[in-house]
Amino acid sequence: MKRYILSIVALLSVFSLTAQEKPNDNAAPKAMVKVTYPPMMEQNKFLSLSVGGGISTLMYDFPYGSSEWGKGGRFNIDYNIFFSQVCGISFGVGGSKYNSTVIFDNNSTYQTAINIPSYSYNNESFDTEAQCTTTFFDWKESQSVFALEIPVGVIFRAPLGKKATFLAGVGAKLSFPLKSSYEVTDGKLSSSLYNKKFNVQLDSIPDHGVTESNMHPSGSSESKIISASGYLDLNFVHRVGKIHLYYGLYGDYGLSSIAKKEKALTSIVEYNGVLSSDAVEKVIPFSVGVRLGVKIPCPRLKDQDRDGVIDKFDNCPNTPVGLPVDTCGCPLDTDGDGVYDYLDRCGDTPKGVLVDTCGCPLDTDGDGVPDHQDQCPYTPKNTPVDNHGCPFDADGDGVPDHVDKCPRTPEGVKVDQNGCPFDTDGDGIPDYLDKCPTIPGVEANQGCPDVSEKARKAFKNAEHGIEFEPGTAVLIRSSCHYIDKIISIMREYPNYRLVVNGHTDSSGSMAVNLKISKRRAMAIVDYMVERGIYPSRLKSFGHGGTQPIGDNKTLNGRKLNNRIEFKVEFDQ
């Protein structure tokens, strides 16, 4: 067996050296690596014939001694079918030889109950049951099982250059033991009987006509039951001329026992091997070794595009040569957008996004933001946009900069369609700055109409000319002249509304001053209402001495602070 294994290893080394490629110094560097199989890998169906050898043994626990692994061999005829460039299935038939050796512990004893027919004792014949004891001395036994095997598995392949391929297989197989035998190679045994009924011990059974020791030193075992095993093959395939040789490692391990559950008992009556005895429960076949084989190509089915998927199963029979394909023979489409990877310029497009003929998400407005992310998918051409695909809007008024005629409108100001603040009265002063947004006015008067010079003069004269009795709200008669002028102005300008503000100096208490200032302003309003001015056009407020314009410490200052002020508003 050692010579056999060494010979196989030597052959493997020769094939490995033969398969190596010589470097080509003049070869130009390759720009890309093509995912294509060498010509030898285009065979999608082939037979493989192989032989192998190595450790091939029976594994079991033996309570009366120890067991040793044996060596053996195997042969296989397999049919291989590849459905793609990478994987396929394999099934076939083969045979394996398993060997093992058991060594009994010296003076080990085995006991069993047996029936002894027509046993003679004290000149009387009768049937009885006795306890049989067998003692083994330097006993050594070898076992051998030859099994027919049917393997079924999955195979994988990968190119390793132009002349080499890695081939692996994994699967399960059924084993049918065709021949199971044993042979005692050394030792002897002795046996005795004990009859409990009569309390009789017979130490030398052959002298009493029952049997003799070592009755069957060799013969057939009863370990002939179908079992299952798992297997793994690792091989390298090399092309040598037109021959495809392969070599590698194999291994299998039994998943069930090949030993029968109901066994004949090993005893002095009929010794027929350890595997047939009830001393051994599970017998598991196990093997690992090297093998050598040859591939025989089967007639190939048509594969027009040479992608490894035969035309019968190829949904894309015209795939360009060298492209990686899926199990249906179509070029890969990683992002599933309907554009094959080799044509797809955007290979990571999110699922469900519409794409163009180049595989990139649609960008209707051409702003660089794809439609599925574009919140403004119809932006005018060449308009700068933000990350959301919308035109920039610097002032945040909702009108994009490219059409905004007032791009610096203050935040929160309402604008028209051009992005400019509303100007209701069209006076050029935007409503948010216009105190009179519905009446055309001037900037100097905050958007309100300009007060006529005549009115200004009348108001100024009244502020200086109106006087009251000290400490009261009673008008001095001379003050009426000034109020009458204001009444004339109000009649001349019907859109004027007048606010009358009363003020005092700081003499006296604040509460008294506030009360007097309100009464004085109201006295002027009452005077004007009595003379035909609508109350709705008039307002009055008193401020007491809170808004001085002169020094209350001087007589002249206090005179300035005791005053009436007029403010014109406009009817909106």
Q: Which domain holds residue 415?
A: 370-421
260 and 157 both lie in a single domain = yes
Question: CA geometry: angle at 68 spanning 67 and 69, to 5°?
Answer: 130
155 and 69 both lie in a single domain = yes
Q: Can you give the pLDDT at residue 20?
A: 40
For residue 350, being part of any structural domain is answered with no
Q: Can you give the pLDDT at residue 204?
A: 56
Inform me whether the pLDDT recorded for 542 exceeds 50. Answer: yes
Q: Can you give the pLDDT at residue 334?
A: 85
For residue 20, being part of any structural domain is answered with no
Across 196-226, the runs of DSSP E, i.e. the strands, are 200-202, 218-220
For residue 108, being part of any structural domain is answered with no
Question: Are the C-beta atoms of residues 207 and 8 closer than 8 Å to each other?
Answer: no
Q: Which residue has the higher pLDDT, 122 or 140?
A: 140
User: What value does the mean pLDDT take over residues 152-170?
Assistant: 91
The pair of structure tokens assigned to 463 is 């502020």
**Those residues with Cβ within 8 angstroms of residue 468's Cβ, 6 or more apart along the chain or in another chain:** 474, 475, 476, 479, 520, 523, 562
Cα 358 from Cα 360, distance rounded (Å): 6
Q: Which of 297, 329, 350 is the last residue of a domain?
A: 297
Q: Which of 35-49, 282-296, 474-488 has the least mean pLDDT?
A: 35-49
Question: Are the C-beta atoms of residues 446 and 432 closer than 8 Å to each other?
Answer: no
Report helix, strand or coil for 480: helix
User: What value does the mean pLDDT take over residues 48-75?
Assistant: 89
For residue 433, being part of any structural domain is answered with no
Instruction: Read off the pLDDT of residues 368-408 as tens digits, 9 standing for 90 and up.
Output: 888 888 888 888 888 888 887 888 777 888 888 788 888 88
79 and 159 both lie in a single domain = yes
Q: Which of 20-34, 531-545, 555-569 has the least mean pLDDT?
A: 20-34
For residue 173, being part of any structural domain is answered with yes
Q: Can you give the pLDDT at residue 39?
A: 42
The total of structural domains in the chain comes to: 3
What is the bridge-based pairing of β-strands 243-254 and 227-240? antiparallel
395 and 284 both lie in a single domain = no
Inform me whether the pLDDT recorded for 292 exceeds 90. Answer: yes
Neighbour order of strands in the sheet with 563-570: 538-542, 496-503, 563-570
157 and 43 both lie in a single domain = yes
Amino acid identity of 411? E
Inform me whether the pLDDT recorded for 263 exceeds 70. Answer: no
Cα 378 from Cα 391, distance rounded (Å): 10
φ, ψ of residue 421 to 5 degrees: the values are -60, 145
Instruction: Read off the pLDDT of residues 296-343 as tens digits, 9 standing for 90 and up.
Output: 877 666 778 888 888 888 888 888 988 888 888 899 888 888 889 888
Burial letters for 222-235: b for 16+ Cβ neighbours within 10 Å, e otherwise? bbbbebebebebeb
Assign residue 68 the CATH number of its domain.
2.40.160.20
For residue 376, being part of any structural domain is answered with yes
pLDDT bin (cut points 50, 70, 90) of residue 453 is: confident
162 and 293 both lie in a single domain = yes
Report helix, strand or coil for 68: strand
Q: Can you give the pLDDT at residue 570?
A: 81
Query: What value does the mean pLDDT of the chain take?
Result: 80
φ, ψ of residue 21 to 5 degrees: the values are -90, 145
For residue 291, being part of any structural domain is answered with yes
168 and 91 both lie in a single domain = yes
The pair of structure tokens assigned to 467 is 């006087």
Amino acid identity of 435? K
Q: Which of 16-30, 414-428, 445-459, 527-541 has the least mean pLDDT?
A: 16-30
Q: Can you give the pLDDT at residue 124?
A: 53
DSSP calls for 284-306:
EEEEEEEEEEEEEEPPPPP-TT-
User: What value does the mean pLDDT take over residues 455-478?
Assistant: 90
- Helix or strand holding residue 10 (H, E): helix 2-19
DSSP calls for 533-550:
--GGGEEEEE-TTSS-SS
**CA of 150: how far to CAs of 96, 157, 176, 242, 346, in Å?**
11, 22, 9, 29, 49
165 and 252 both lie in a single domain = yes
Inform me whether the pLDDT recorded for 521 exceeds 90. Answer: yes
Report helix, strand or coil for 413: coil
411 and 463 both lie in a single domain = no
238 and 96 both lie in a single domain = yes
User: What value does the mean pLDDT take over residues 203-208?
Assistant: 55
- Helix or strand holding residue 460 (H, E): helix 453-465
Torsion of CA 208, 213, 216, 221, to 10 degrees: 110
Q: Which of 263, 297, 331 is the last residue of a domain?
A: 297
386 and 463 both lie in a single domain = no
User: What value does the mean pLDDT take over residues 94-115?
Assistant: 80
For residue 123, being part of any structural domain is answered with no
Global pTM reads 0.44
Q: Can you give the pLDDT at residue 13?
A: 43
Assign residue 547 the CATH number of its domain.
3.30.1330.60
Q: Which of 251, 274, 297 is the last residue of a domain?
A: 297
Inform me whether the pLDDT recorded for 3 exceeds 50. Answer: no
User: What value does the mean pLDDT take over residues 207-225?
Assistant: 58
Q: Can you give the pLDDT at residue 301?
A: 66
Q: Can you give the pLDDT at residue 267?
A: 44
What is the CB neighbour count within 10 angstroms for residue 158?
Answer: 13
267 and 406 both lie in a single domain = no
